[in-house]
Chain A
Amino acid sequence: MSVELLKEKWSNTINTLTIGGTGTRTSKVTVGGESTLPYLFNEGDIPNKPVIAMEIFDAEPVDWPEVLKEPFKDVFKNSAEWAKKCVNEYKAELLCLKLQGTHPDFGNASTDKAAEVVKSVLEAVGVPLIVLGCGNDDKDNEVLPKCCEAAKGENCLFGDATEKNYKTLTAACLADGHNIIGESPIDINIAKQVNILISDMGFDINKIAMNPTIGALGYGMEYAYSIMERARLAALMGDKMLSMPFICFVGNEAWRAKEAKGPQAEHPEWGTEKERGPVWEATTAVSVLLAGAGILVMRHPKAIEIVRGTIERLMKKG
């Protein structure tokens, strides 16, 4: 006697978000569109595979450990070169430019300088671009609108809008036709609220990505996982204000962990950080993939290689 498996039928699908594909972009990436839980191909459609965005900066990163700096040593001084290296050497299909150098504590680069960097990266490569502020609200509200304007027509993804600071960036993205990231502090209620606030300004909900904030392996990863899972369940059951694809800043979280970056000299029993760091980042990435992540922002080429392989295997149906 054959056993018939009970299949779940959902009433809603995840929004489809496209970055790039316009202006001078020579490619685009599309995420979202799922009508089922992650990788349950038998219960619905998963039209788009998750993508990895390689993270680049506008200045030499201040807190990166040696093992993470090594592959990019020759390009730190020039974001355009860094971008080229990611695309040409590491086959990045999406880049994420963090304007860390504009932060008052980390160089305080000017608005014009930031806009120039954005332009130079767009000129250097044809892949779609994510642009992030430095995290200082006042500075971001000054810098990001200029950068939106500099990238007008390129259909970028800009971030992050938060519950307390979303109006300026939303208005800028609206004016210049970009997508936007809504950020919440591992809190499903605030995630939903941020999406409502953005959409109340007339923003198309299909152009919003959700940054639920994650914790790395060992630092609350399972908590982030359960928040993402709950949001995804609610979305599939019909909650339009939680139906945005997730973007997860895996590299940023994983490389803060001492287990990832701590040198072997200090922790002899942990083994070499050359292996350990990338594996820590890859493990964190795979976990959020399974929770439904659509975009992974990552750093180490080796971790990226591992996760690319995992995505390929996960997307093989059956």
Chain B
Amino acid sequence: MLVIGELINGMFKNVGKAIANKDKSVIQKLAKEQAEAGAGMLDVNVGPAAADAVGAMKWLVETIQEVTDTPLCLDSTKPNVIEEGLKLIKNKAMINSTTADKEKLDVLLPMAKQYGAGLIGLTMDKKGIPRDRHQRSEFAAVIISASMEAGLGHEDIYLDPIILPVNVAQPQSLEVLEAIREFSLLSDPPPKTVVGLSNVSQGTENRSLINRTFLVMALALGLKGAIMDPLDKELMDAAICAELILNKHIYCASFLDAYRKK
């Protein structure tokens, strides 16, 4: 699966402070640690508080690329923040994210095409998050057909059914899981799916257990990637084990070690 490391986000106090003080060491340490722990991509989010979001994004991209070649996932609701980041990208990048709104798709799909970037499509629109799997599938179909029209390849699009905290909207967890299964019927080969995993446990007491349980269930239904904490070793172990059980790699006694040597 594609693990997108979530820790470089201005929402976290240490990162927000590092951005404000231009403290490279904090960011670079997080980048290296996540890559070493198995992140195939690093999410980069300047956070809600950054005074100069564009400047912060540019600084983050440059700072991270000084220490790792791991592809970056540029995370912002503002297309211009993403585009300024994309201009500096040395390796492959992903845009996080578009919604199914036409005005967003019209901007972000050509941008993804222009910069050779992948794109995460949230299956929602400006009216909000869908209440069930069926609405999610409708938005997914809109995003897929728009991306095909824009000339993006199948491998460039990840659909995100949007997880809500289990303590806030408990019925939604099942809807998201079922949506992952339903998305797979939309095209052949099936579209890829990604989730912002930690959201499921937001505000709960036993976050790591909830995260890894949800991840294993979602992987069983065909999930291909997650924005998550790669430094949570139990979470990573559960993901590796789930893929083993799904026959994605060959068993051996040291299967965790073997996976990490890849």
- A residues touching B (Cβ–Cβ < 8 Å)? 188-193, 196-197, 199-200, 230-231, 234, 238-242
A193 and B262: CB pair below 8 A? Answer: no
Chain B's interface size range is 10 to 19
A192 and B261: CB pair below 8 A? Answer: no
Most buried by A among B252, B254, B257: B252
Complex formed: what's the CA distance from A242 to B262 in Å? 11
A187 and chain B: residue at smallest CB distance: B252
B254 and A239: CB pair below 8 A? Answer: no
B262 and A190: CB pair below 8 A? Answer: no
Which one, A189, A199, A230, A231, contacts B261 given CB within 8 A?
A199
Can you give 16 contacting A-B residue pairs, CB < 8 Å?
Answer: A188-B250, A189-B253, A192-B252, A196-B252, A196-B261, A197-B254, A200-B254, A200-B257, A230-B250, A231-B250, A234-B250, A239-B249, A239-B250, A240-B262, A241-B252, A242-B250
Lowest 8 CB-CB distances: which A-B pairs, in order? A192-B252, A193-B252, A241-B258, A189-B252, A196-B254, A193-B253, A189-B251, A234-B250
Q: In the complex, what's the smallest C-beta–C-beta distance from B253 to chain A, in angstroms? A: 5
A242 and chain B: residue at smallest CB distance: B250
Complex formed: what's the CA distance from A192 to B256 in Å? 12
Complex formed: what's the CA distance from A239 to B252 in Å? 12
B251 and chain A: residue at smallest CB distance: A189
B252 and A190: CB pair below 8 A? Answer: yes
Complex formed: what's the CA distance from A231 to B252 in Å? 12
A200 and chain B: residue at smallest CB distance: B257
Complex formed: what's the CA distance from A193 to B254 in Å? 6
Complex formed: what's the CA distance from A196 to B256 in Å? 11
Which residues of A lie under 8 Å from residue B249 when comparing CB positions? Answer: 234, 239
Which residues of A lie under 8 Å from residue B251 when comparing CB positions? Answer: 189, 192
Q: In the complex, what's the smallest C-beta–C-beta distance from A234 to chain B, in angstroms? A: 5
Which residues of B lie under 8 Å from residue A239 when comparing CB positions? Answer: 249-250, 258, 262
Q: In the complex, what's the smallest C-beta–C-beta distance from A207 to chain B, in angstroms? A: 15
Complex formed: what's the CA distance from A231 to B250 in Å? 8
B254 and chain A: residue at smallest CB distance: A196
Which one, A188, A192, A231, contacts B258 given CB within 8 A?
A192
B249 and chain A: residue at smallest CB distance: A239
Interface membership of chain B positions 115-143, coded 1 if the CB is closer than 8 angstroms to chain A and 0 otherwise: 00000000000000000000000000000
Interface membership of chain B positions 222-262, coded 1 if the CB is closer than 8 angstroms to chain A and 0 otherwise: 00000000000000000000000000011111100110011
A197 and chain B: residue at smallest CB distance: B254
Which residues of A lie under 8 Å from residue B262 when comparing CB positions? Answer: 238-240
Q: In the complex, what's the smallest C-beta–C-beta distance from B259 to chain A, in angstroms? A: 9
Q: In the complex, what's the smallest C-beta–C-beta distance from B252 to chain A, in angstroms? A: 4
Which residues of A lie under 8 Å from residue B261 when comparing CB positions? Answer: 196, 199, 240-241
Which residues of B lie under 8 Å from residue A200 when comparing CB positions? Answer: 254, 257
Complex formed: what's the CA distance from A230 to B261 in Å? 19
Which residues of A lie under 8 Å from residue B254 when comparing CB positions? Answer: 193, 196-197, 200
B250 and chain A: residue at smallest CB distance: A234
With A239-B262, A240-B262 as known contacts, state yes or no: A196 contacts B250, CB within 8 Å. Answer: no
Q: In the complex, what's the smallest C-beta–C-beta distance from B262 to chain A, in angstroms? A: 6
Which residues of B lie under 8 Å from residue A191 when comparing CB positions? Answer: 252
Q: In the complex, what's the smallest C-beta–C-beta distance from B71 to chain A, in angstroms? A: 15
Complex formed: what's the CA distance from A188 to B251 in Å? 8
Q: Known contacts A196-B254, A238-B262, A239-B262; can you find 20 more A-B pairs with CB under 8 A? A: A189-B251, A189-B252, A189-B253, A190-B252, A191-B252, A192-B250, A192-B252, A193-B252, A196-B252, A196-B257, A196-B261, A197-B254, A199-B261, A200-B254, A200-B257, A231-B250, A239-B249, A239-B250, A239-B258, A240-B262
Which residues of B lie under 8 Å from residue A193 when comparing CB positions? Answer: 252-254
Q: In the complex, what's the smallest C-beta–C-beta distance from B257 to chain A, in angstroms? A: 6
Complex formed: what's the CA distance from A193 to B261 in Å? 12
Which residues of B lie under 8 Å from residue A234 when comparing CB positions? Answer: 249-250
Complex formed: what's the CA distance from A199 to B249 in Å? 18
Complex formed: what's the CA distance from A196 to B255 in Å? 9
Which residues of A lie under 8 Å from residue B258 when comparing CB positions? Answer: 192, 196, 239, 241
Q: In the complex, what's the smallest C-beta–C-beta distance from A132 to chain B, in angstroms? A: 24
Complex formed: what's the CA distance from A199 to B261 in Å? 10
Complex formed: what's the CA distance from A155 to B70 in Å? 36
Complex formed: what's the CA distance from A102 to B211 in Å? 57
Complex formed: what's the CA distance from A190 to B251 in Å? 9
Q: In the complex, what's the smallest C-beta–C-beta distance from B62 to chain A, in angstroms? A: 29
Q: In the complex, what's the smallest C-beta–C-beta distance from A229 to chain B, in angstroms? A: 12
Which residues of B lie under 8 Å from residue A196 when comparing CB positions? Answer: 252, 254, 257-258, 261
Complex formed: what's the CA distance from A239 to B262 in Å? 7
Complex formed: what's the CA distance from A200 to B254 in Å? 11
Which residues of B lie under 8 Å from residue A241 when comparing CB positions? Answer: 252, 258, 261
A163 and chain B: residue at smallest CB distance: B253
Most buried by B among A231, A234, A239: A239
Q: In the complex, what's the smallest C-beta–C-beta distance from A194 to chain B, in angstroms? A: 9
Complex formed: what's the CA distance from A193 to B255 in Å? 8
Q: In the complex, what's the smallest C-beta–C-beta distance from B235 to chain A, in angstroms? A: 21
